[in-house]
C-alpha cells in the first residue's frame, strides 16, 4: 500500500512540475498551466496542504528558471521573486481553494467548471493587483474598470490555456489510472 501511495504521489508531483515547466515552450500570452496545476492538485492530493504547496513550489521553480535563464538579460541580478508576484501566487492559492470545493468528485463537467473558475479568479485577482497602487490607472472604481477592460485581450489566452491544460492533465491522469490500477489509490 505504501509503495502505491509513493508511486501515485511521485507521479502527481512529476505531472505538476512538467506542466509548470511547459511555460518555456513558446505560447500566446497568458496561455499557462499554472491555474490548472492548482486545480489538479486540489483534485488528487488527499492531504490538502500538498495541493497548496506542490503547485506553488513548482510555479516558483519554473519562475526561477524563466526569470534567471530565459529572461536573465532583463534583470540586474538573480531574481527570487518578480515584482507583484504575490498577486499571481495569491490567485493560484485561491484557485486551489476553489478546486477543493469543486472536486468532491472528478468528472468532465467539474473539470470544465474548474477551468472557468480558474480563469475568472486569475483575471480578477491579477488585474486588481495591476490596478491597485498603479500610476497608470486612476485609483477609483472607473480606473479599476479601465484596468479590467485592458486585461480582456489576455483573457482568451488564459481561458484557452486553462481548458487545454485541464484536458491534458486530468485526461492523461484518468487514462493512466485506467491503465495502472496502482494510481487509483485514494490516499496520498
Q: Each residue of 82-135: pLDDT tens digit?
A: 888 999 999 999 999 999 999 999 999 999 999 999 999 999 999 999 999 889
187: pLDDT strictly greater than 60? no
169: pLDDT strictly greater than 60? yes
Nearest of 26, 48, 22 to residue 34 by alpha carbon: 22
Q: In the prediction, which pLDDT does 46 show?
A: 85
pLDDT band at 81 (very low <50, low <70, confident <90, very high): confident
Q: What is the mean pLDDT of residues 7-22?
A: 96
Q: In the prediction, which pLDDT does 103 show?
A: 96
Mean pLDDT of the chain: 93
DSSP 81-114: S-TTHHHHHHHHHHHHHHHHHHTTS--HHHHHHH
pLDDT band at 3 (very low <50, low <70, confident <90, very high): low
Give the Å distances, CA to CA, from 69 to 5, 43, 74.
35, 32, 10
185: pLDDT strictly greater than 80? no
Instruction: Give CA torsion, residues 186, 102, 95, 35, to 10 deg.
Output: 70
Q: What pTM value is reported for the model? A: 0.92
Q: In the prediction, which pLDDT does 186 show?
A: 56
141: pLDDT strictly greater than 90? yes
160: pLDDT strictly greater than 50? yes
4: pLDDT strictly greater than 80? no
5: pLDDT strictly greater than 80? no
Amino acid at each position: 500500500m505504501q509503495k502505491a501511495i509513493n508511486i501515485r504521489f511521485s507521479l502527481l508531483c512529476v505531472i505538476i512540475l512538467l506542466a509548470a515547466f511547459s511555460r518555456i515552450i513558446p505560447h500566446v500570452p497568458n496561455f499557462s498551466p499554472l491555474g490548472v496545476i492548482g486545480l489538479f492538485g486540489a483534485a488528487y492530493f488527499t492531504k490538502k496542504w500538498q495541493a497548496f504547496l506542490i503547485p506553488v513550489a513548482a510555479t516558483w521553480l519554473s519562475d526561477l528558471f524563466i526569470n534567471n535563464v530565459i529572461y536573465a538579460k532583463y534583470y540586474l541580478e538573480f531574481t527570487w521573486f518578480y515584482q507583484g508576484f504575490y498577486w499571481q501566487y495569491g490567485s493560484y492559492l485561491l484557485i486551489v481553494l476553489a478546486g477543493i470545493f469543486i472536486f468532491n468528485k472528478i468528472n468532465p463537467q467539474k473539470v470544465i467548471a474548474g477551468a472557468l473558475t480558474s480563469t475568472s479568479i486569475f483575471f480578477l485577482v491579477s488585474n486588481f493587483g495591476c490596478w491597485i497602487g498603479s500610476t497608470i490607472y486612476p485609483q477609483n472604481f472607473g480606473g479599476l474598470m479601465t484596468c479590467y477592460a485592458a486585461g480582456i485581450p489576455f483573457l482568451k489566452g488564459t481561458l484557452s490555456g486553462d481548458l487545454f491544460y485541464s484536458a491534458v492533465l486530468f485526461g492523461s491522469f484518468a487514462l493512466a489510472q485506467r491503465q495502472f490500477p496502482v494510481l487509483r489509490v485514494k490516499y496520498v
